[in-house]
Amino acid sequence: MISKEDAEILKQLSAEHGLKFISGKFSQGVVFSTSLGQEDQVVTDMIFRNQLPIKVFTLDTGRLFYEHYDLLSKNNSRYKTKTEVYFPEASDVEQYVNEKGINAFYHSVENRKECCFIRKVKPLNRALENAQIWITGLRSDQSENRENMPIIEWDEDRKLFKYNPLINWSYQEVLNYLEQNNVQELALHKKGFISVGCQPCTRAIEEGENPRAGRWWWESSQKECGLHSH
């Protein structure tokens, strides 16, 4: 259980010391979900470099870029560990594709959210079973939906605490950490892909655009998939 005192302590700690504090308080049940983006690579490096007892996992939607798999392999090799991979249920994907079409997500927001639910949300829920603390790489300036997220919060739907150690970091701080610690990145970032999701649903952004403008670019929505909906 995270007390009010613990929450206040976490507000004062750096991201790295916060991760050490959390993993020290809970001997098990602490998990980190990585999409292999820049922020998540920062957290991954902090966890693996300090050999913290935190389970690191990722979601393979079946529609990722090749670069995701390349970086995942490089991470496992560099840190001499294994990031657990969760896949969508084959029967869910088969039913969706056979009934609506392979690229049905382009046709409506409802179709797109259903695809995200099948390929991301359901596998995430399986990965979070029995977890007590869910660590993310979210930052407040990534989107309007994340502006007011606290550093730690209770997720009522999943009945666990959600810890966002980088929530107050700027994008420049992320870049500085990656450079200073020689952390590997997705090759896509140098091609204008900042926020990277599934290949059919992500485009490079133009200079001055919001980092999430390249996600589901054909929509005028909140640019969320349902993993972090509040």
How many angstroms separate the CA atoms of 224 and 159, rounded? 21
**Around Cβ 94, how many Cβ atoms within 10 Å?**
10
Q: Is 221 exposed, middle or buried (0-12, 13-18, 19+ CB in 10 A)?
A: exposed
Residues designated as active site = 225
Strands 160-163 and 152-155: antiparallel
Residue 179 identity (one-letter amino acid)? E
CB atoms within 10 A of CB 160: 20
